[in-house]
Amino acid sequence: MSLAIYRKYRPKNFEEVLGQQSVAEILKNAGRQDKLAHAYLFYGPRGTGKTTTARLLAKIANCETRIKDKKFKDKGEPCNKCGRCEDIDAGRALDVVEIDAASNRGIDEMRDLKESIRLSPSSYPYKIFIIDEAHMLTREAFNALLKTLEEPPAYTIIILATTEYEKIPSTISSRAQRFHFKKLSVESIAQKLTRVVKEEKMNVSEEAIELIAASADGSARDAESLLDQLASLEEKVEVENVEKIIGKVGFTRTSEFSRLILDSNLSEALAYISKLDEGGYNLVDFAKELIHYWRRILSLKFDPKLEELFQHELTKKELEQIKSQSGQIIPEKHLPFIKSLIRAYGEMRYSPFAIVPLEIAIIENLKK
């Protein structure tokens, strides 16, 4: 069985962690200065590097090379060559315990954890406990964990990872160092996918890579999983292949349709929608993408400074396209259109005829 791309290309050191430079720098400095905390809370969207960073922290704490070589220790990185680093990467380190709180969420599991924490490490300096999806723990489990976080043994590091920070009790979060993991930019995900495609000798177009990155919603893991899915195609992977897999319309099609709206071309706009419907595309998702697209071109029309913000969400080519179309915006004409589009989207989600509300919104705003 081949190794999944997201596992094969998982970052081996802090320098490789995408989009979390501030988090990586703080943890590297903590490693350099031997100031690792007893408890950490990593929170943020899925696929942004929380569990990966937790494993890197486990390697930093236990790396043999760092312990023996002071000069190497100043790098703040694991060596990835010693037996401990290799064992942690392979998931066979006995002193690095990963717990999925979604399926081990009760008080009995936390009591077992407390008993395990009391035991000294078998062969490493530190015993690391990584609790993934920590927000799934029950109230009783959190209470059982609280005492452990208050007075942990000196050889223990507990790392909680969650996508829902608001569900973590303040009594827990206040006893841990908190690090926020932000969504990754489309550009940074696309750059990594390009490297993977080159390494794997895959034949994927630049436009397809950009669509995969955009559809991942800031998650590198989602993007790599989708690329893995497309890897079995024998022909060159194009935008159309990605669109069929994800059931979404890419940026290019959304841009083309927006041009028809800006040109007030009613007949072509209706024909375009019909073709998408016949092609099996999800029109509800298309309407959602269209709203996001028009939000950007309207925002740029009224505040050009937002271009700096959109640079993190779009590729250079996409940003240029949006800037071009924002110049065609006529507020009194196009503000009612986006209002109609938002209303249509709400109706489409619950209608057995999703195409109808969208067609009505177009006709209402483009009719002579």
Mean pLDDT score of the chain: 89
Residues contacting 308, CB < 8 A, separation 6+: none
Quick: pLDDT tens for 154-212: 899 999 999 999 999 999 999 999 999 999 988 889 999 999 999 988 889 888 898 88
The rounded distance, in Å, linking the Cα atoms of 240 and 249 is 9
> Can you give the pLDDT at residue 1?
54
What is the per-residue pLDDT for 6? Answer: 87
Cα maximum dimension of the chain: 78
Q: Which residues contact 232 (CB under 8 A, 6 or more apart)?
A: none
> Which pTM does this prediction carry?
0.78
Q: Which amino acid is it at 101?
A: A
Please classify residue 166 by burial: count the beta carbons closer than 10 Å to its beta carbon, then call 0-12 exposed, 13-18 middle and 19+ buried: exposed
pLDDT at 247 over 70: no
CA–CA gap between residue 231 and residue 236 (Å, rounded):
10
Token pair of 117, please? 């924490």
For residue 203, the SS3 value is coil
Chain segment 86-138, per-residue pLDDT in tens? 999 998 999 999 988 877 777 777 777 777 888 888 889 999 999 999 998 88
pLDDT band at 65 (very low <50, low <70, confident <90, very high): very high
Token representation of residue 219 = 């998650």
Could you give all domains of the chain from N- to C-terminal order, each with its CATH number? 5-180 (3.40.50.300), 186-246 (1.10.8.60), 251-366 (1.20.272.10)
Check pLDDT > 90 for residue 43: yes
What does the block give as tokens for 254?
A: 């959304």
